[in-house]
Structure 1
Amino acid sequence: MLEDLYAAAAARIFEGAIQPALYALGLMDWAEDAYEWLDFAIFGLLTIVAVYAVCRPLEAWRPVERWESRGPVRTDVIYTLLARLGLLPMIAFVLFATLQARWEGWVAESGFIPPTLETLLPWLREHPLWALVFYIVVLDFGEYWRHRLQHRFGWWWALHSIHHAQRQMTFWTDDRNHVLDEVLAALWLGGLALLIGVPPGQFPLVVLVLRLAESLSHANVRLSFGRVGERLLVSPRFHRLHHGELSAGEHGKNYAVLLPVWDWIFGTADFRREVYPRTGDPEAPEALATGGWWRQQLVGLRRMATAIAGGR
């Protein structure tokens, strides 16, 4: 039922607005690609609405900090709109379409059948809900290690430090990332999803769960899940320690996106429950903390080039 409503809404928007524009511009050869992009944009809009509905009331209820000026937060809103609605979904689509075509071509030519989760655990085929849970757990494990590598390699940290430079952290901060960093993250998550065989119909649900968890963990809210809950799900308090002034670079703590168990297993967990530190990397240039979107992108690229030249 929901899928039918979603498909009908997408078709109405495409036929009423996008298709006539493509026709007028003589770009009907791109109609199929434009429809795929529209699918990304609508899903991104629904994600923003869901995140706002959950996180904004929490931030108004019990904020950790209040600020006279929210200029840097408005910059993060721009990041979110670009990441969820516009440029980045289109880039991700082109990259994934190419990757998937090459992967399927290689599989067809070689006769190799990749060992997906459902081939390793055949009973998952008859239990789609459990399969979804397994996919989320595996992809969350992958996201933990991607996050650690972002802090480990100097060139990658030069990009990721844009995210950590924010001193006014809110749920909008989740998407505060360099474009190149977003592309690497999309390739990482999408590549792992293809490798373990996540069905196309379930992948958006996996992404939605991880997005909601990430946005909530960045929220400016004094919220802990308690001694037991903090070990089951990443809370705003747990992740705020990761963004604290003393937790930047490769010596950080609390890298997990959804499940803190990865931090516990690999010795990077900090479960102090009543600590809500100030956020923002004190070593980040001022441009990364208060500059506009375009300036932060340029500074991030320069810092990455410097790190590569220095062998980091």
Structure 2
Amino acid sequence: MSIAIQVIWLVLLASVEIVATQWEHLVRGQVRKLRNLTFTVLNHMAIPVATVALVSYSRPVIGTHWVAEMPVVSGVALTVIALDFAGYWFHRFSHRNLFLWRFHQIHHLDEDFDATTGARVHTVEEVMHQIVLVLIVVALGAPASYFTAFATASFAMAIFHHSNIAIPWSVERVLRSVVFTPALHVPHHNDDIVNTDSNFGFIFPWWDRMFGTYNSVRRTPEWRIGLDYSHDLPLHRLIIQPFIPKQLKETAMPPAKNATYETENAA
């Protein structure tokens, strides 16, 4: 059921993007989107089932029953807030640790910004992230259903705040005080490192405000989306790149201004 909701949400936002586009598309064609969606298919084949099963098995054996004994609304809210807080730090640390960055850069190599960008996460990174979340859920004593609620909400928010949807400022101003919006998250995908190293939150922007990484700068037409040291890569390279001994930054050709992987290879 959770996976069905996530798929429907992705299709819905992708459809809204067609009629309410906020920013000009930077990459032509559908190859990029298919590349991104391949990752979400791979990640959804086994990871959700495995993590829920692990929580269900581990909590009665080594976990507590603290959150499970709370009223449902309070328990779910606490679980979501705790896991989102952990996600903020995992994400932030992924930008600082070279091993984790090997996998996280696959997300940032995307040279455009839309709903499919939110679905593009290397499977190994997703596994590592899920392990951290499972440990926290078990320690809290939260039921597997609470973890599923968080997983569904965080995926939905990741797709939303990566979407290329125009939101009126009157609505945007209210939304961004509670959750991440596309306009608030897009600086994180600018190839300027000052912007890339900001807005690490998944659902709530509170952690960035609390820990000094909040960035409200607005996107301009001159912005390049991606990383300053490499173009996007073909699917097979995206999958194996983290396992190549040399860091991509040491071997890649920096992209020319206003050029993309597809446009250069189509020339």
Alpha-carbon deviation of 1:88? Answer: 3.9
Give me the CA root mean square deviation.
2.8
Equivalent residue for 2:91, pick from 147, 171, 177 = 147
CA-to-partner distance for each residue in 1:153-205, whole Å, 9 max, x for gaps? Answer: 01111110000000122211223122211110111122212221221222222
Of 177-186 and 252-261, deviating more is 177-186
Query: Does the 8 Å CA contact 2:186/2:219 hold for their aligned counterparts?
Result: no
Given residue 291 of structure 1, which amino acid in structure 2 is its aligned partner? P
Distance 1:299 1:248 in 2: 25
- Number of equivalences: 244
Structure showing the higher helix proportion among its residues: 1
Distance 1:229 1:47 in 2: 21
Report the 3-state secondary structure (helix = DSSP H, G, I; strand = E; otherwise coil) of the residue aligned with 1:272. Answer: coil
Equivalent residue for 1:56, pick from 15, 28, 43 = 15
Distance 1:159 1:213 in 2: 21
Query: Does the 8 Å CA contact 2:187/2:215 hold for their aligned counterparts?
Result: yes
Alpha-carbon deviation of 1:275? Answer: 4.9
Given residue 227 of structure 1, which amino acid in structure 2 is its aligned partner? R
Report the 3-state secondary structure (helix = DSSP H, G, I; strand = E; otherwise coil) of the residue aligned with 1:201. Answer: helix
1:196 matches 2:146: no
Equivalent residue for 1:116, pick from 66, 71, 76 = 66
1:295 matches 2:245: no
Equivalent residue for 2:228, pick from 261, 282, 306 = 282
Aligned to 1:259: 204
Equivalent residue for 2:40, pick from 76, 80, 94 = 80
Query: Does the 8 Å CA contact 2:54/2:134 hold for their aligned counterparts?
Result: no
Distance 2:119 2:11 in 1: 13
Query: CA 1:60–1:188 in structure 2 vs 1: closer, same or farther (change >3 Å)?
Result: farther
CA-to-partner distance for each residue in 1:3-30, whole Å, 9 max, x for gaps? Answer: xxxxxxxxxxxxxxxxxxxxxxxxxxxx
Query: CA 1:98–1:231 in structure 2 vs 1: closer, same or farther (change >3 Å)?
Result: closer
1:240 matches 2:186: yes
Aligned to 1:133: 77
Query: CA 1:275–1:141 in structure 2 vs 1: closer, same or farther (change >3 Å)?
Result: farther
Query: Does the 8 Å CA contact 1:73/1:168 hold for their aligned counterparts?
Result: no
Alpha-carbon deviation of 1:281? Answer: 0.8
Alpha-carbon deviation of 1:49? Answer: 1.1
Alpha-carbon deviation of 1:99? Answer: 7.4
Aligned to 2:109: 165
Query: Does the 8 Å CA contact 1:96/1:187 hold for their aligned counterparts?
Result: no
Query: Does the 8 Å CA contact 2:16/2:165 hold for their aligned counterparts?
Result: no
* TM-score, length-scaled by structure 2: 0.80
CA-to-partner distance for each residue in 1:243-275, whole Å, 9 max, x for gaps? Answer: 1111379x6000011111100110000013465
Given residue 262 of structure 1, which amino acid in structure 2 is its aligned partner? W
Alpha-carbon deviation of 1:231? Answer: 2.5
Alpha-carbon deviation of 1:51? Answer: 2.7
User: Identity over aligned residues, as a percent?
Assistant: 19
Report the 3-state secondary structure (helix = DSSP H, G, I; strand = E; otherwise coil) of the residue aligned with 1:202. Answer: helix
* TM-score, length-scaled by structure 1: 0.69
Gaps of 5+ in 2: 251-267
Mapping for residues 63-74 of structure 1, pairs under 5 Å: 63-66=22-25, 67-74=27-34
Report the 3-state secondary structure (helix = DSSP H, G, I; strand = E; otherwise coil) of the residue aligned with 1:290. Answer: coil
Distance 1:259 1:205 in 2: 15
1:218 matches 2:177: no
